[in-house]
């Protein structure tokens, strides 16, 4: 159950992330900032005033938030909207730059939001985080949002808007020369992805039921990056497959970190080995099969009949075994 919920949330996040990184070709490294915002907003809105006074022992919560209590869907929506508002605010400096600068600036957002979450105790309860959220997230909600996100992003990618985004990825100067307002197009994609990051964050918060700033570090972004690269940058289908595969493999790879007995020998668990394997996998995928699992292809029923070849390389190699 929990794993299936996780899969759905990661699909939502990965599809939204792929819109910016894959379809637009801009390396955005700040999804964790938007996810944090969504998670905190949604969490603060669903908690009852009584729960809030229980949580905020050190510094009391500021007034309007301390009394607010919304139903779950409204809170999720609010989480998404707060993320969009932040995206609107940051979109202007972000899309003045490209490439490496864009990567670092967006990376900075994640860092700044984390620092804020740690220090604005009157809103976020600081490093203590929020505990005891009601686990509203169930399969209906998580998969519903995942399907909605996929549908919206897929529709967008197939529209003229999506083709414009692709044009920007391939050659921004040429796209601009063809009359595409690159700033407005990129900002639109950025806002939409921010919305789904926010909603995904809200879902995540109500799945885990305990959130703190340390949950939303760059590590989260890195996981999403692995997912979309392995899935094939630019392919929504690839993002979905890889998100599901990654979440399941993440569970499976826990074995590596636990003590195991093989042929009577006891191999001690190696903490951190999971991440070594994952980062090595990402490195190998990006060097040796840059197109990932799906390349830029998408799934279609017509294509299914034509495709008999399978077995794409690029899965986790055995190189990292202890």
Q: Which residues bind another protein (CB under 8 A)?
A: 21, 25, 27, 29, 90, 92-93, 96-101, 103-105, 107-109, 111-112, 115-116, 118-119, 172-173, 218, 222, 225, 229, 233, 270-273, 275-276, 278-280, 282-283, 286-287, 290
Question: 97 or 152, CB closer to another protein?
Answer: 97
Question: 83 or 133, CB closer to another protein?
Answer: 83
Helix, strand, coil percentages for the chain (3-state, nearest 5): 70, 0, 25
Question: 49 or 99, CB closer to another protein?
Answer: 99
Q: Which among 70, 69, 10, 43 has a CA at the least distance from the CA of 197?
A: 10
Minimum Å distance from CB 72 to another protein? 32
Q: Can you tell me which residue has the tokens 């490496």?
A: 100
Minimum Å distance from CB 213 to another protein? 12
Question: 124 or 137, CB closer to another protein?
Answer: 124
Minimum Å distance from CB 254 to another protein? 15
Question: 80 or 91, CB closer to another protein?
Answer: 91
Long-range (24+ apart) CB contacts under 8 A made by 101-104 are: 102/26, 102/27, 102/28, 103/27, 103/28, 103/29, 104/29
Minimum Å distance from CB 107 to another protein? 7
> In angstroms, rounded to a whole number, what is the distance separating the alpha carbons of residues 204 and 142?
9
> In angstroms, rounded to a whole number, what is the distance separating the alpha carbons of residues 152 and 15?
10
Question: 104 or 139, CB closer to another protein?
Answer: 104
Q: Which among 88, 89, 106, 87 has a CA at the least distance from the CA of 97?
A: 106
> In angstroms, rounded to a whole number, what is the distance separating the alpha carbons of residues 292 and 157?
19
Minimum Å distance from CB 27 to another protein? 5
Cα 7 to chain center, whole Å? 11
Minimum Å distance from CB 19 to another protein? 14
Q: Which among 78, 133, 86 has a CA at the least distance from the CA of 109?
A: 86
């Amino acid at each position: 159950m929990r794993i299936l919920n996780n899969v759905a949330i990661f699909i939502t996040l990965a599809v939204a992330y792929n819109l910016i990184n894959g379809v637009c070709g801009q390396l955005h490294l700040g999804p964790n900032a938007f996810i944090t915002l969504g998670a905190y907003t949604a969490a603060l809105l669903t908690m009852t005033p009584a729960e809030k006074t229980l949580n905020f022992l050190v510094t009391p919560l500021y007034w309007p938030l301390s009394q607010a209590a919304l139903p779950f869907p409204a809170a999720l929506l609010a989480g998404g909207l707060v993320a969009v508002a932040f995206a609107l605010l940051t979109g202007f400096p972000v899309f003045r730059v490209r490439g490496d600068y864009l990567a670092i600036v967006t990376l900075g957002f994640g860092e700044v939001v984390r620092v804020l979450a740690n220090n604005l105790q009157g809103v976020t309860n600081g490093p203590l985080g929020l505990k005891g959220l009601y686990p509203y997230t169930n399969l209906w909600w998580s998969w519903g949002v995942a399907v909605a996100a996929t549908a919206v992003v897929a529709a967008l990618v197939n529209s003229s808007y999506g083709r414009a985004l692709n044009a920007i990825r391939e050659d921004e100067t040429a796209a601009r020369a063809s009359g595409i307002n690159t700033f407005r197009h990129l900002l639109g994609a950025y806002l939409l992805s921010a919305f789904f990051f926010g909603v995904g964050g809200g879902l995540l918060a109500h799945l885990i039921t305990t959130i703190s700033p340390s949950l939303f570090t760059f590590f989260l972004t890195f996981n999403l990056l692995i997912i979309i690269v392995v899935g094939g940058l630019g392919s929504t289908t690839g993002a979905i497959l890889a998100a599901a595969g990654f979440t399941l493999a993440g569970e499976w790879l826990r074995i590596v970190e636990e003590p195991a007995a093989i042929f009577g020998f006891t191999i001690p668990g190696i903490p951190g080995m999971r991440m070594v394997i994952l980062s090595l996998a990402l490195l190998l995928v990006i060097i040796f099969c840059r197109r990932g699992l799906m390349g830029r292809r998408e799934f279609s029923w017509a294509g299914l009949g034509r495709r008999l070849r399978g077995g794409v390389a690029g899965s986790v190699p055995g190189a990292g075994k202890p």
